[in-house]
Amino acid sequence: MDTSKLISLAVGGLVSGILAGFLGIGGGTVLVPLQVALGYTPLQAVATSSFSIVITAISGSIQNWRMGYLSFKRVIYLGLPAVITAQLGAELATRIPSYVLLVAFSLLLLLNIYLVQLRKQLSNSEAEKSNNFNPVLARLFTGGAAGVLAGLFGVGGGVIMVPLQILLLGETIKVAIQTSLGVIMITAVSATIGHAAKGNISWTVGLILGIGGLIGAQISTRFLPKLPDHIVSLAFRTLLGVLSIYIFWQAWQAFSRM
């Protein structure tokens, strides 16, 4: 591995860790595009991202727990269904063409911009005062969806888990982020096991990304409680929009090479 690639991976891991702590995502939305840009296949990128996210999520969640901002009850309710469905996602990832996987990922990011904005609109309406969603079913759906995405796209699941917690469970964005990062520990471990069994993971690359993420998560989890909710929400939606455009472009490149 040359020096420029090593530096790129380390910096990418650091950035993903910072985003994990700030936005409750595992960092796969950064790590997967980065690895694809460096020449790894989408499947390798997804699988290796899952491994590095294990390190990042553990780091950030331990810090949130030490600061008193992590509810293990919330994490377990969402994490249990995610463990099962992450294996389904890992299996699907090996059966889908690369460009299809990238397009689906990009559409997912756009969907979540809408979900976060929808919740913001609902929170300003009188209808929000009565929650029509069954909390048990809402948690099963949220955790299950996160697990599928963890295995399928190499993300921790936060890109769907944060909006769904806000939309279905009525959580504030900061609580949703902190809970999401805790659940990501579980989903990432499950997805990593599934990909490791198929030999998809580049362990050296994942370790470099993970160490960078560990450092970044320690930084961002300390600052999240001090930020206004509207700033965090805007940052989350902006990130999703930028990454969606980039992933669409990567999908076109992959399709053109066929």
pLDDT in tens, 126-181: 444 445 578 888 888 888 888 887 777 766 667 778 877 887 888 887 888 888 88
User: Quick check: helix, strand or coil at residue 235?
Assistant: helix
Q: Provide the number of structural domains found in the chain.
A: 1
| Residue 53 tokens, joined | 């996210």
The reported pLDDT for the residue numbered 1 is: 72
Are residues 202 and 40 in contact, defined by beta-carbon separation less than 8 angstroms?
A: yes
pLDDT in tens, 183-219: 888 878 888 888 899 898 999 999 999 999 889 888 8
Can you tell me the distance from the alpha carbon of 175 to that of 166, in angstroms, rounded to the nearest whole number? 9
228: CB partners within 8 A, 6+ apart: none
What burial letters (b/e) apply to 198-211, b meaning 16+ CB within 10 Å? eebbbeebbbbbbb
Enclosing domain of residue 123: 3-256
Stretch 61-67: mean pLDDT: 87
Rounded-to-integer distance, Cα 30 and Cα 51, Å: 14
Task: Report the chain's mean pLDDT, rounded to a whole number.
Answer: 81
Q: How confident is the model at residue 256 (pLDDT cuts 50, 70, 90)?
A: confident
